[in-house]
Structure 1
Amino acid sequence: MLILESIVNFFNSILWGKNILVVLLIFSGVFFTIKTNFVQLRFLKHMVELLTTKSNEDKENLSPFQAFCISTATRVGAGNLAGVVSAISIGGAGAIFWMWVVAFLGAATAFVETTLALIFREQDKNGQFFGGPCFFLKNGLGKKSWGVAFVITGIICWAGVLQVVSNSVTESFNVAFNISPITISILLTLLAAIVIFGKTDKTAKVLDKVVPIMAVLYLGIVFFIIIRNINLLPSVFSQIISEAFGIRQGIGGTIGAVIMQGVKRGLFSNEAGTGSAPCAAASANVSHPVQQGLIQSLGVFVDTFVICTATALVMLLTKPSVINGLSGMELLQKSFNYHLGSIFGEIFVAVILFLFCFSTLLGICFYGKVNVRFLTEKEIGQTLFKIFALSMIFLGGIQQNIFMWNLADFGLALMTIINLSGVFPLSKFAFDSLKEYEKKAFTAKAF
């Protein structure tokens, strides 16, 4: 075990410690933004229209909204809470500005990788679509072995994420309600099992109910907090902008730390370029690949500009003396306690964290289903993965394992490299598809 930890830590120190992944993802965002002529900006209104358009009835595949909910569920997880807290704790308020920049650029990457997932997806004998990086690596580049490698690294990453997310839930309930971690872990595992096992996988149906509810609940409370502190809002945004460019910190190493924290947390949060979201998006029933690409691009905006910004505002609207010296989830907890009272604040954070994390767990189980299907069409493969996923949820809930964080980072880094190794050489297909769609759309006066 120690040898494995040493290997994982060594590669993480290179891939993340030397900022190789950060540079790669930023370059991707800039490149795809330019090549698509700022698709994420030009089509923003149309993205919302597509999301709310009713799709044709198709029992075998997801609606565009369901695919959006699954990918949003995995994006809007503990990372939107812990990730933002980490960014502000280390990089200050200015880190939020750089999270916005990363989200803007990442939206173009999300568009390209998702469009490719739909162009090169497969359909089984029941009419169900399957797609994602492993499929476009095989069908687009003829590199099936690379697709297998993506699946393996994905399972490594998701094993870590499942445990980390489960532990976040059990810890928060232990603090808020004094319920033992093993009790919550069992309950969480059983709830997940009810959804993913059975004659039909109920993940999509559950998430298209849970995701809107948790978003409205969370944003509703944050909106309440903002209204109560509306007079402080101009100074908060002024603080974000001024600290983003080191005006308060001065010139030197500090501004570099601010930028890097915002960039890193933004990349972790929106997942653009990692290849995860296309696994769900490829199952959507849409008339053109570009449509789901645009919807997934919108998902990056929702993740960062809406949910992450909401989390940041709660902390930045808190009296500094209340949270001075705090970091991690304690900082977020104290911030909500300050605005809502200690009792309601703790309960709210526990409940919202449960919804965020439970939806993340279900979303990852769906990703696993798609990727295992690439390895084998036999039902035993799906069953084994579901058992594996439930085991990770249970184990993560009963004990905290720092190595799981490192394992998740390691798997995510490898997934990203493999995914982008297919996205770049195949990107011309996405660009051509966009041109074709845009021509038809303007002809039909869709905009």
Structure 2
Amino acid sequence: MEKLIADINAIVWSNALIILCLGTGVYFSVRTGFLQVRYFKEMIRLLFNNTSSANGISSFQAFAVAIAGRVGTGNIAGVATAIAMGGPGAIFWMWMIAFLGSASAFMEATLGQIYKEVKDGQYRGGPAFYIEKGLGVKWYAVVFAVATIVSMVVLLPGVQSNSIALGITKAFAIPPAITGGAVTLALGLIIFGGVKRIGKVAEVLVPFMAGAYILMAVIIIFMNIGQVPEVFSLIIRSAFNLEPAFAGVFGMAVSWGVKRGIYSNEAGQGTAPHAAAAAEVSHPVKQGLVQAFSVYVDTLFVCTATAFMILFTGQYNVVNPAGGFLVEHLPGVPTGSEFTQQAVNTHFPALGGGFVAIALLLFAFTTIMAYYYIAETNLSYLMRKGTNKWMLWGLRVLILGATFYGTIKTAESAWALGDIGVGVMAWLNIVAILLLQKPAMRALKDYQTQRKAGLDPVFNAEKLGIKNTEEWR
């Protein structure tokens, strides 16, 4: 079974997907005039729009839900894995996929807003909705919805809960089954409250967890401030095959940097449009820009914080594809969150393990919350006449079961299944947004025109000739 999973993973994450992700990011960056740079201040301004309604959550809550999905195990264990498999150069490629991917994130989030609809008294939207309404290809939309439900409910929760259990066991010697039971119970109390409760919990937890983690990283960076130029240089040299020690993993640096970058920030994967569609805004581009900024928060802030802590302290190993290790600073230590725990322990021996374990708990827990919301949205799409309550309960039981099971299975199988889920969704969604870029570009041009006229942009889909947009009439 493990070999089958590995073979499927290799097919899904072939070089073709790496090229597609990078190429799409470059294309949309150029197509939008590098909005990720030009509209940076606008992103921050829009972030704090707290207008909500009976049907929709606020922009900040939608941002928090999306960040809850983006900021998870990938920011701690995923960064460590990228360094272990691709060397320090993998971090540069994580930065690149974040910078370029923010343009892809803008496109998918804007499309999510354009084609949203009201179901069960709340805004719903995402790739399945815009594939059917924008492309008019129902079977493709159904395939995406089914693939997303399987990924969010079966394949991905185990990665998050497995990392929680490993971190808690390492720091506090609590058995994985006990951790799994506690996490599953807490998750159940939240997801049975619906999207409004998820939004409120995310709104509180996300700023706290990200802020505390970045603060710890900043402290460690200041304690090693003299090494900043050296670490930057090491990352850049390794990224372009100019560092002899890591010459043998240049291809792996690109592959794992992109792979773990997408796993972490989810740009182009098709997850964030679900949260984006739930927001109450006057123009779709507003939420598109907010979601583009969330990619920066995830990778350029949180992932970089992890990478710097690990590289400053030298607490990492780099695997040699030919066998053994190119660098082995931590003999016998498995690849993953333990690299980060060891890095923090270097400066704060009494605090490091526990701090990283709790950060991982919060990061991964909020991500599973977001997974449930995404799965529920796609179930809502499939049940067009109204979501069946028994199907909804089945969905909740399945994700709770997968979350618990993830705490007691091996990390290798958990990550392999998670990668398959991410890769399949990315393939389906990136192709869709490439085919459906015109409505998003019309919306961007309209937003720019209204802003230049000194207006607070208001979207009129009919005026722009965009069809099947009932909520914008």
Shorter chain as denominator, the TM-score bin is over 0.9
Equivalent of residue 446 in structure 2, options 413, 436, 445:
436
The one-letter code sitting in structure 1 at the alignment partner of 2:202 is: L
* 8 Å Cα contact 2:238/2:246 also seen in 1: no
* TM-score normalised by length of structure 2: 0.88
What letter matches 2:39 in structure 1?
F
- Structure 1 letter corresponding to 2:30: I
2:172 corresponds to 1:177:
yes
Paired position in structure 1 for 2:140: 146
Query: Residues of 1 paired with 2:7 and 2:194: CA distance?
Result: 43
Segment drifting more, 381-390 vs 291-300: 381-390
Post-superposition shift, 1:399? 3.0
Using a 3 Å threshold, how does the CA distance of structure 1 residues 254 and 13 change in structure 2: closer, same or farther? closer
**SS of equivalent to 1:62:** coil
Distance, in Å, in 2 between the alignment partners of 1:89 and 1:200 is: 37
In structure 2, give the amino acid aligned to 1:230.
Answer: I
Matched, 1:54 2:40: no
What is the alpha-carbon distance in structure 1 between the residues aligned to residue 412 and residue 80 of structure 2? 18
CA–CA distance in structure 2, aligned partners of residues 6 and 140 of structure 1: 39
- SS state at 1:275 partner: coil
Q: Secondary structure at the match of 1:179?
A: coil
Which stretches in structure 2 are left out of the alignment for 5+ residues? Answer: 317-327, 458-473
- Pairwise CA distance, 1:271: 1.0
Corresponding position: 1:28 with 2:24 = yes
| CA distance, structure 2, for counterparts of residue 196 and residue 65 of structure 1 | 20
Measure the CA separation in 2 of the matches of 1:399 and 1:293: 37
By how many angstroms is 1:411 displaced? Answer: 2.5
CA drift at 1:251: 10
Identify which of 204, 223, 227 aligns with 1:232: 227
Partner of 2:128: 134
Distance 2:194 2:261 in 1: 38
Residue 361 in 1 paired to residue 357 in 2?
no
CA distance in 2 between counterparts of 1:9 and 1:234 reads 38
**Matching residue's letter, 1:374:** Y
Displacement of 1:426: 1.1
SS in 1 for 2:241: coil
**What secondary structure does 1:84 align onto?**
helix
- The percent of aligned pairs where both chains have the same amino acid is 39
**Does structure 2 conserve the Cα–Cα contact (< 8 Å) formed by 1:153 and 1:412?**
no
Map 1:382-401 → 2, pairs under 5 A: 382-400=392-410
Residues 379-418 of structure 1: pairs in structure 2 closer than 5 A: 379-400=389-410, 402-418=412-428
Match of 1:214 among 209, 214, 221: 209
Task: Tell me which amino acid in the other structure corresponds to 1:39.
Answer: L
Distance 2:314 2:298 in 1: 26
Following superposition, the deviation at residue 53 of structure 1 comes to: 2.7
Deviations 1:146-184 (A, max 9, x none): 122112111222212111211111121112111111111
Q: TM-score, normalised by structure 1?
A: 0.93
Tell me which amino acid in the other structure corresponds to 2:416. Answer: N
1:12 corresponds to which letter in structure 2? N
Answer whether contact 1:153 1:414 (CA < 8 A) is retained: yes
Which one-letter code corresponds to 1:373 in the other structure? S
Unaligned segments of structure 1, at least 5 residues:
none
Structure 1 residues 419 and 85, CA gap change in structure 2 (3 angstroms): same
Is 1:338–2:346 an aligned residue pair? Answer: yes
Q: Following TM superposition, by how much is the alpha carbon of 1:197 offset from its aligned partner in structure 2, in angstroms?
A: 1.2
Which residue of 147, 160, 163 maps to 2:155? 160
Name which of 357, 366, 377 aligns with 1:370: 377
**Residues 300-315 of structure 1 correspond to what in structure 2 (within 5 A)?**
300-315=295-310
Q: Is the 8 A contact 1:80 1:311 kept in 2?
A: yes
> 1:12 aligns to what?
9
**1:76: which partner in 2?**
71
Output the aligned Cα RMSD.
2.2
Bigger shift: residues 107-116 or 408-417 = 408-417
Match of 1:296 in 2: 291
Q: Quickly say closer, same or farther: Cα 1:86–1:398, change in 2 above 3 A.
A: closer
Secondary structure in structure 2 of the residue aligned to 1:317: helix
Return closer, same or farther for 1:290/1:201 CA change in 2, 3 Å cut-off: closer
Q: Deviations over 1:257-294 (max 9, x none)?
A: 33333222212221111111111111111110011011
